[in-house]
Amino acid sequence: MVLAPNAGAMTHWGTNSYIIGEETLAIVDPGPAEAEHLAALMKAIGSREVSHILVTHAHSDHSAGAMALASKTGAPVSGFGTAREGRRAIMQSLAETGDLGGGEGLDERFAPDHVVREGDRITGAGWEIDVVHLPGHFAGQLGFQLDGNLFSGDHVMDWSSSIVSPPDGHIGDFLASSRRIIDLAPNQCLAGHGAPLVDPSDRLEWLIEHRSARESQILHALSTTWLPLHEIVAKVYLGLPDNLRPAAARNVLAHLIDLWERQLIEADPGPQQSALFRLR
C-alpha cells in the first residue's frame, strides 16, 4: 500500500493506494492527482508492468490520479463509469431541483477505459479479482474481491462511519451493501482510508445499528411541527465539532430522503436542503 499525502477530516491519514501482484501489477485506487503521490507509486511499482488500474469510485481522492498513472504505465483504467453513472432516478431528479447540494469531491473528469460491474472477473498474472457493486456511500462504488480480501473503497472504515451524502449516497443502498459484505464474509476489508478491518462483520453490524439509531433520533426530533434541516441536525448531533457539521447535515438529509421515500415524513416543497420536514 502506498499512502497519499492528503490527510484530512474526511480522509483520515490519506488515501490508501493498493498494489496487487508480484510481477505484473494491478493498482487499486490511484488516489488524488498529486505529483508527489504519483512519484511514490511509480517508485513502488519500479520496473514491473502494470496491467490494470482499478478504481473503487469516482471521488477525486480515489480516482483523480488515474489518468496520470495510466499515461505513465500504459495500463487501462477500469471503473463503474463516469461520476454520475448509477445514481438512482429519484436522486437524479432531486438533484435537478437545484437545492439538494452534495456532489462533494465528484471527479467530473473520470472516464474509465473499461466499464466493470457486479459479477465481472478481472484476471491478471497470478491473481483473480471478482467485482461486487457496493452502492451507498457512492452509487457507482465497486468492491474488489481478491481471495479473502475485499478492497472496499469508502464503505467501511475503522476510524469513522462513512458519509452518505445525496444524490450520490443513499441510506437504503448503504444498509443493503453493509449486509452484502457481511454475507460475502471477507477475512478483511482493505479500506480507502485507515487500517484494514480484520473480520469486518462486527464493524458492519455496528454501522447498520448506528444508522438505525440515527434514524430513531431523527424521527424522535421530528414532530408534527415543520422543522428546517439545520434544527434537526442540531437536535440529533449534540456537541459536534464545527468541522464535522457539514458532513453531519449531509447524513441527516440522506436519512430524511430515505424516510420521505418510505412515506414516514413529509417535506415541503420536497426533500431538499432548504425544505421543512415533519412527521406524516
- Which residue, 138 or 277, is less far from Zn ion as judged by CB? 138
C-alpha cell at 143: 468492491
Least distance in angstroms from the C-beta of 252 to Zn ion: 20
Provide CB contacts within 8 A for 98, sequence distance 6+: none
**260 HSE (CA, 13 A, CB side):** 21
- Cα separation, 16 vs 152, whole angstroms: 11
- Which residue, 56 or 178, is less far from Zn ion as judged by CB? 56
- Which residue, 94 or 155, is less far from Zn ion as judged by CB? 155
- Which residue, 4 or 218, is less far from Zn ion as judged by CB? 4
Instruction: List beta partners, residue 12.
Output: 8
Least distance in angstroms from the C-beta of 64 to Zn ion: 11
User: Helix crossing, 245-261 with 229-236: angle to 10°?
Assistant: 110
- Cα separation, 280 vs 261, whole angstroms: 12
Chain residues in the site for Zn ion (CB under 5 A):
61, 154, 192
Least distance in angstroms from the C-beta of 59 to Zn ion: 5
- Which residue, 156 or 222, is less far from Zn ion as judged by CB? 156
- Cα separation, 13 vs 56, whole angstroms: 18
- Cα separation, 10 vs 17, whole angstroms: 16
C-alpha cell at 239: 456537541
Least distance in angstroms from the C-beta of 10 to Zn ion: 7
- Which residue, 59 or 133, is less far from Zn ion as judged by CB? 59
Least distance in angstroms from the C-beta of 238 to Zn ion: 27
Least distance in angstroms from the C-beta of 72 to Zn ion: 22
H helices of the chain, where?
35-45, 60-63, 66-73, 89-96, 171-184, 201-221, 229-236, 245-261
- Cα separation, 203 vs 20, whole angstroms: 25
- 156: alpha, beta or left, given left = phi > 0 and alpha = psi -120 to 50? beta
Least distance in angstroms from the C-beta of 9 to Zn ion: 12
- Which residue, 109 or 278, is less far from Zn ion as judged by CB? 109
